[in-house]
Amino acid sequence: MPNASARASTAFGLRLLSGLLYVAKFPYLLVGAALIEPRAKTAELSELRAAVAQFGGRLVPRCTHRLMECEISAWEQLGEAAHVGDASRVAELLARPTVDFRPEMREQRQWFDNCALRNAAQRGRTACVELLAPRAADDTWGQDHLMAAAANGHAECVAVLLPWANPLRIPKRGQTALMLAADFGSGECVRLLLPHSDAAAFDENGDTALILATRHNHPDCVAALLPASDPNTRKRLGDTAMAIAIRRGHAECADLMAPRAEREAVEEAFRKFGPAGMPRWHAQIEAKALRETLHDCASNEAHTNNGEGVGPGGETRVGAAAGVQTGGADQLPRRAKARGAAKRL
């Protein structure tokens, strides 16, 4: 107990000493603030920052107000430079020293930084994106910078932003970056995002990235998504990606999904589009038919060539009807041995 009381008295003494020092210093702060305030309109920006940092925002309201105006102007200039792709100007504005003299200033600056980054990503300003990406904060205002780059097909920006963004994020009533890339037909963006995304995720309408790519007839995106997607997945209203391709007449998308889609849907698609519309699937059908024909021919030859022929695996068969395989002279029937000897003669 004595130790607790001693600590409490020590803390009280420290607070009292701090208060006394502030009171002693306060007149000097007032004098300094009174001297600097009249020069607020003509002071340099560095002087304004130093005054606000030294005296605090409340004692120098004019300096604070002008500094706030300068900061907002710089933030707006940053957005304009990112919009037009002026990387040198962006670097210059980012290098400016800042003073957070109000609690909300950090949030405001992050909001402007995110807006500038979103503008740069939306327009494919890769150099500006590289400068702004490390300053990006979690963007909860809707479509973020990664989504803006993916929706507009800027694969280089997507590659730069991936380490700084969350590809799995779904904004309220929105879509992931992968869904936007598939929706707007950027196959390269889909390939970049797919290893970091959930291809099976649904948006608010029950659509997956594969369904979106199929609906808008983007075969390149469909081909990129298929290794990680199931074409038999049904959306909320019951349609699969293959059903959408058939209904909308997207033959190439149906052709790509055929090897993994349900057989009934594939047969319906092939009846509708035919060999010309689904050449890949038609080639697989032809190859299968050819293999079956070769197998039948080999079997028939084995039966009709005096009991001697070539089996389906290419091995020599003797007495195929009886299922005897040549594995050496001792395994051959006596009549076959004699015939073989006569042929050698």
Two tokens, residue 21: 């020092």
pLDDT tier at 84, thresholds 50, 70, 90: very high
Query: pLDDT tens for residues 243-290?
Result: 999 999 999 999 999 999 999 999 999 999 999 999 999 898 888 877
pLDDT tier at 148, thresholds 50, 70, 90: very high
Taking the whole predicted model, whether its pTM rises above 0.75 is answered as no
Query: pLDDT tens for residues 40-59?
Result: 565 666 666 666 666 666 65
pLDDT tier at 340, thresholds 50, 70, 90: very low
Among the listed residues 107, 108, 127, the one whose alpha carbon sits nearest the alpha carbon of residue 117: 127
- pLDDT above 60 (res 313): no
Task: Provide the pLDDT for residue 334.
Answer: 39
- pLDDT above 80 (res 327): no
Query: pLDDT tens for residues 166-175?
Result: 898 888 768 9
Query: pLDDT tens for residues 226-239?
Result: 999 999 998 766 78
CA distances from 101 to 38, 50, 62, 73, 87 (A): 20, 11, 13, 16, 28
- The domain limits of the chain are 33-137
Q: CA–CA separation, 264 vs 269, rounded Å?
A: 9
- Phi, psi dihedral angles at 156 (to 5 degrees): -65, -40
Which phi-psi region, left, alpha or beta, contains residue 173 (left: φ > 0; alpha: ψ -120 to 50)? left
- Mean pLDDT confidence for 312-335: 44
Two tokens, residue 45: 């920006």
- Mean pLDDT confidence for 91-104: 77
Q: Which residues contact 320 (CB under 8 A, 6 or more apart)?
A: 299, 302, 303, 307, 308, 309, 311
Is the CA virtual torsion 188, 194, 195, 197 positive or negative?
Answer: positive
